[in-house]
Chains A and B, each alone.
Chain A
Amino acid sequence: MSKARLATAWLGGCSGCHMSFLDMDEWLFELADLADLVYSPIADVKVFPPDVDITLVEGAVANEDNVELAREIRANSKVVVSFGDCAVTGNVTAMRNPLGDPLGILEAVYVNAPDRNGVIPAEPGIVPPLLPQVQPLHKVIKVDAYLPGCPPPADRIQRAVEALLAGDPSRITGEDIRFG
């Protein structure tokens, strides 16, 4: 059997899910026998590659770069997985949503806060503009499986990846889908 092409991506999240992924410790060696990690924030690949079998996406969709990457992931992946609460629900990243227009929040943080230099960072092409509302991943692209948790503990990730590699995401159930 040829090795699966696995990717992980990081949108608007704290990277905690990736930390938890690394917590799988020695199982990562077994995983390496089953799949090649073709794209990941921990693998320093710049461009999302084609023909990916499974992509785990951490983080909510919070800015325009997130949207762009999400679409690229969708176009090049067979199975897209919302990985962790931010991707699944918006979670902490989306806690700005009730406050409305992000500009007000940026002002509060960068302009009105006493320890800041009074400018909202703006660097076209580098600092991506925020979306009016943070969205869970499935509101932007079609998602095939969900792995909630903040972060999902390593053993859950392992069971989920095993299920995905076996082509049966319906096995991700019970306590493995607990939020929080």
Chain B
Amino acid sequence: MRELRTTVTIAFNDVEVEAFADETVMQAARRNDVFIPSLCYVEGLSVWGGCRMCMIEIEEDRRLRPACATPVNPEMEVYTDTPKLRAHRKAILELLFAEGNHVCAVCVSNGNCELQDMAVACGMDHVRYDYRSPRRAVDASHPKYVFDPNRCILCTRCVRVCDEIEGAHVWDVASHGADAVLITDLATPWGDSTSCTWCGKCVAVCPTGSLSYQGTAVGEMEHSVSMISRLAVARSRGEWLDPEAVS
């Protein structure tokens, strides 16, 4: 039943690879094992394009482009690891670390955190900018989960997975700029939420220790982004539908 997809040739860092004509640069990179950092992208969820870690350079294009939202073009020459990109990514990471209160040593996700891994991958060994040290209250009102906004990088994976996969739309962003913050329902405690189904998908996709299970101690939290991706992709292909039932 699956259609045959057209393929085109593109180049990553001067190495030619095959890409599907209807995919994004990010998708082509992942299938071809080319590393492009990202913090908000999750295969299967809608593209958000907010973290800006996946910026790439394209030959004959003056501007940097986000790989997650850039469609593949035949013959395009993509560069993923230029000195400029490296410097910019490092700076964005530093901004993220300075913005919240990311104390790896006491975090439930220590050792299992995409932000922490990203610092390693991007060679970020210190933060040049001033730590903002915002004061943010933890929401531990939910019986099963904890939301710690100190560790939130506003990637909105939780917002999207809850809305697009679970269909509950418990999460959203409130306020703007530096005050932007995730809320549940209409900014009421998560534990009071009448829309939350306790499915835990938000916790599974969280890249940091911002969303965790109640009772997890330092370093114990493990997320499962790939499970969500499998779910989303399988659903989009109708893999679990009974062929008899769909006519």
The answer on direct contact between A and B (beta carbons under 8 Å) is yes
- A residues neighboring B (CB under 8 Å): 82, 85, 88-92, 94-95, 97-100, 133, 136, 138-139, 143, 146-148, 150, 172-175, 177-180
**Highest count of chain B CB atoms <10 Å: which of A94, A147, A174, A179:** A179
A95 CA / B106 CA spacing, docked (Å): 10
Contact in complex: B131, A178 (CB < 8 Å)? no
Which residues of B (103-121) have their CB < 8 Å from a CB of A?
A: 103-107, 110-111, 113, 116, 119-120
Contact in complex: B135, A177 (CB < 8 Å)? no
B70 near A: Cβ within 8 Å? no
B125 near A: Cβ within 8 Å? yes
Which residues of B lie under 8 Å from residue A180 when comparing CB positions? Answer: 104-105, 107, 110-111, 113, 116
The DSSP consensus for interface residues of chain B is: loop
A97-B131, A133-B133 known; A177-B123 Cβ under 8 A: yes
A143 CA / B124 CA spacing, docked (Å): 15
A94 CA / B103 CA spacing, docked (Å): 9
A89-B97, A90-B131, A99-B135 known; A178-B126 Cβ under 8 A: no
Contact in complex: A94, B133 (CB < 8 Å)? yes
A94-B133, A175-B120 known; A89-B107 Cβ under 8 A: no
A143 CA / B113 CA spacing, docked (Å): 27
Shortest Cβ gap from A90 to chain B (Å):
6
Contact in complex: B101, A88 (CB < 8 Å)? no
Shortest Cβ gap from B71 to chain A (Å):
33
A89-B127, A133-B133, A146-B125 known; A98-B119 Cβ under 8 A: no
Number of A-B contacts (CB under 8 A): 71
A146 CA / B119 CA spacing, docked (Å): 13
Shortest Cβ gap from B138 to chain A (Å):
12
Which residues of B lie under 8 Å from residue A88 when comparing CB positions? Answer: 125-126
Contact in complex: A138, B126 (CB < 8 Å)? yes
B130 near A: Cβ within 8 Å? yes
Which residues of A lie under 8 Å from residue B113 when comparing CB positions? Answer: 180
B134 near A: Cβ within 8 Å? yes
Contact in complex: A179, B116 (CB < 8 Å)? yes
A–B complex contacts, Cβ < 8 Å, 19 sampled:
A88-B126, A89-B127, A89-B131, A91-B105, A98-B133, A98-B134, A98-B150, A136-B126, A136-B127, A139-B130, A174-B120, A175-B120, A177-B120, A177-B123, A178-B116, A180-B105, A180-B110, A180-B111, A180-B113
Contact of A92 among B106, B119, B126, B134 (CB under 8 A): B106
**Highest count of chain A CB atoms <10 Å: which of B103, B123, B124, B150:** B103
Contact in complex: A172, B106 (CB < 8 Å)? no
Which residues of A lie under 8 Å from residue B136 when comparing CB positions? Answer: 98
Contact in complex: B133, A91 (CB < 8 Å)? no
Which residues of B (71-97) have their CB < 8 Å from a CB of A?
A: 97
A99 CA / B150 CA spacing, docked (Å): 13
Shortest Cβ gap from A88 to chain B (Å):
5
Contact of A95 among B103, B110, B119 (CB under 8 A): B103
Contact in complex: A178, B127 (CB < 8 Å)? no
Which residues of A lie under 8 Å from residue B128 when comparing CB positions? Answer: 138
Nearest to B121 among chain A residues (CB) is A174
A98-B134, A136-B126, A138-B126 known; A91-B103 Cβ under 8 A: yes
Contact in complex: A179, B119 (CB < 8 Å)? yes
20 new A-B contacts at CB < 8 Å, known A136-B127, A178-B119: A82-B126, A85-B104, A88-B126, A89-B97, A89-B131, A90-B131, A91-B103, A92-B105, A94-B133, A97-B131, A98-B133, A99-B135, A100-B135, A138-B128, A150-B104, A172-B125, A174-B120, A175-B120, A177-B120, A178-B116
